[in-house]
A and B are shown apart, each in its own frame.
Chain A
Amino acid sequence: MNAVAKVAGQALPAVLLSVRNVAKHFGTNVVLRDISLNVAEGEFLTILGESGSGKTTLLRIIAGFENTSAGEVWMGEERLDRQPPYRRRVNTVFQSYALFPHLTVEQNVAYGLRVAKRPETEIASRVSEALEKVKMSAFAKSKPSKISGGQQQRIALARALVNRPRLLLLDEPLSALDANLRRQMQVELKSLQREVGISFIFVTHDQEEAMVMSDRIALLRSGELEQVATPREIYGRPATAYAAQFIGHTNLLKADVQGGAVRSGPLVWRSALPDGPALFSLRPENIRLVREDTAAVGDVRIRGKVSHQAFHGATQSIRVDCDAGLVLAVSTSSGGGAQEVADLEFSSTDAVLVRESPERV
């Protein structure tokens, strides 16, 4: 059963894993700075980040393949980071699958159970159950070298899950698959997680994947957490400029607030924010092509020249050059044909205030 709160306001779920102020450096190279994160029971959490963000290192620390330079990792009442990987109730699906080439599929899946010296009858039934769950029962006696990448990935999953860990770590498991298979596996993984009910920590650089699968996303940049929130929150209310740009597309508007009015180039709207510089994120799909003559309260209107138009099937994207060097990216449903001039409007509430994302060394 999934005990995760989907909407803020419900009772907080039980915390399974607690990462507290974890830092990691290799020599002078700082990979993780002060990471604090809780993973709830039964939650599907994705750690999202570019390459070099530290996401794999964080995963490896939780799995036990790296020590922390500072900070602690707790699971329940136990201090996890002091334990070697083979004592943790955590299992990993490796990016390269890491199936044992000298063992059959069946023997691979049974490995953890054999090592724990479970009785043979129990091993046999648990292994066949696991293989059925990933729909690979027919390949039980095959060797890893004889099955495809997608199939290997399922076996790696079965091999990890059969041990009934409290937490499953997945290190970019879908990155080697082609697009269609990838989409299919995303759906399967998600439903598998629901079925099994244990917490998954999923690492990826693909923001669409993160949005589709996760209960919550932890966005990592240069070793620090930018934002940890549900997909809807992170998309609708990005906390930083980086979050706004990394997930989906956006227009970043540099603005100045003076006496209750926000001014960004030719755009002006009312706001209760204090005076000073501000940065706003405005999603392209929130900018509409004007139809009626009267604007609603709180709407901002601007006209500009269309400099670029691209057809995406269900939608089209338009680049509009306005006054004072303002360029807006707009996404609308494809309908009207090519345009030269566009009248745009957006609601000021859709301009989300975001923090700056400074360059980090």
Chain B
Amino acid sequence: MNDRRDESNPRWLLVHAVGVFAFLYLPIVVLIVYSFNGNGVGGFPPHHLTLMWYRTLFADGPIWDSVLNSLQVAFAAMVIALAFGIPAALALERAQFPGKALFRRLVLLPLILPGIITGLSLLMLFNVMGTKLSLLTIILGHGTALVSVATTEVFAGLQKLDRAQEEASLDLGANYWQTFWRITVPNLKLPIIGAALLIFTLSMDEIAVSFFLIGRDNTLPLEIWGRLRRGITPEINAVSTIIFLFSLVAIVLWYRLRMRGQGVADAGTEIVEAAEGHAV
């Protein structure tokens, strides 16, 4: 029948949306295309399609060393961020204590603070404590920066939890500890897994904080960074493409996990909103 919605659905809005998506994805597409280009990273049009750069990549020892380092760092950072982030979420959601407002702001600050401030402040700490810079300092840096991610994800999950379930558990004779493990934690499974996935991915990509805390061993982003200073080859395109694919899979997985039990607009926005002090 008559569609009166055309008045409020102007063509330009659609064109604009398409344009923004193009803007967001075009560089990545170019990157991927040129990873197959025999003639280098620039130069239009690309000729001489080849897998040469991927082969170089796979034979590149230092890159794989840095990948291993990154994996170790990401895993350790994930453990730390969850170990401190889950209790932090519980404390914020359940407990009242003096200084709670300050605590909340401090925990969430690294989300919105430029990485340089987090990195440098930690650098000064390690300097004063006499700690040598190494993978350990990077792990501590990532853990600190990403605790906030764990906290927001778990906090959101706690808010969805029906208090009555825990009260029923207590009513039926379980004590606080038992209730925590039998009722609370199982209900937090999804947020925790989601948080773990997100923290892992962010740690693998992290560069701003790592920049200042790096010792002898490089993480993958820093290894790439070093190469960039020396000269650009499509090998970097190749490794970037692979990083993109992994991130893609991880983020889609994370999103699907979050979607089970939450609205579209909330998944992902909490991270952003929490930094403004809303969600928490």
Contacts and interface: CB of A to CB of B under 8 A. Distances in A.
A84 B4 contact: yes
Interface size class of B (residues with CB under 8 A): under 10
Contacts of A146: none
Nearest to A82: B2
Contacts of B2: 67, 81-82
Interface string B1-23: 11110010000000000000000
A84 B7 contact: yes
B1 A69 contact: yes
Contacts of A92: none
A67 B6 CA distance: 14
11 contacts: A64-B4, A67-B1, A67-B2, A67-B3, A67-B4, A68-B1, A69-B1, A81-B2, A82-B2, A84-B4, A84-B7
Contacts of A68: 1
Given A67-B2, A67-B3, 9 more contacts: A64-B4, A67-B1, A67-B4, A68-B1, A69-B1, A81-B2, A82-B2, A84-B4, A84-B7
Nearest to B3: A67
Interface residue range, chain A: under 10
A84 B3 CA distance: 10
Nearest to A24: B1
Q: Closest 3 interchain pairs by CB?
A: A67-B1, A84-B4, A82-B2
Nearest to A65: B4
Contacts of A67: 1-4
A68 B4 CA distance: 12
Contacts of A81: 2
A81 B4 CA distance: 10
Contacts of A64: 4
Nearest to A83: B4
Main secondary structure of the interface of A (DSSP, over half): loop
Nearest to B8: A84
A82 B2 CA distance: 7
Contacts of B1: 67-69
A149 B4 CA distance: 33
A311 B7 CA distance: 60
Contacts of B4: 64, 67, 84
Contacts of B7: 84
Interface in B7-58: 7
Contacts of A84: 4, 7
Contacts of B3: 67
Interface string A48-60: 0000000000000
Q: Which of B1, B3, B7 has the most CB of A within 10 A?
A: B1
Interface string A105-118: 00000000000000
Nearest to B1: A67
A84 B8 CA distance: 11
A265 to B, nearest CB: 51
A73 B3 CA distance: 16
A64 B3 CA distance: 11
Nearest to A81: B2
A67 B4 CA distance: 9
A84 B2 CA distance: 10
Contacts of A69: 1
A177 to B, nearest CB: 28
A67 to B, nearest CB: 5
A68 B3 CA distance: 11
Nearest to A87: B4
Interface in A48-100: 64, 67-69, 81-82, 84
Interface-centre pick from B3, B4, B7 (highest chain A CB count, 10 A): B4
A85 to B, nearest CB: 8
A84 B4 CA distance: 6
B34 to A, nearest CB: 47
A73 to B, nearest CB: 12
Nearest to B5: A84
A70 to B, nearest CB: 9
B228 to A, nearest CB: 49
A68 to B, nearest CB: 6
A68 B2 CA distance: 9
Nearest to B7: A84
A35 to B, nearest CB: 16
A20 to B, nearest CB: 15
A68 B7 CA distance: 19
B10 to A, nearest CB: 15
Nearest to B4: A84
B242 to A, nearest CB: 44
Interface string A288-330: 0000000000000000000000000000000000000000000
A245 B2 CA distance: 39
A84 B5 CA distance: 9
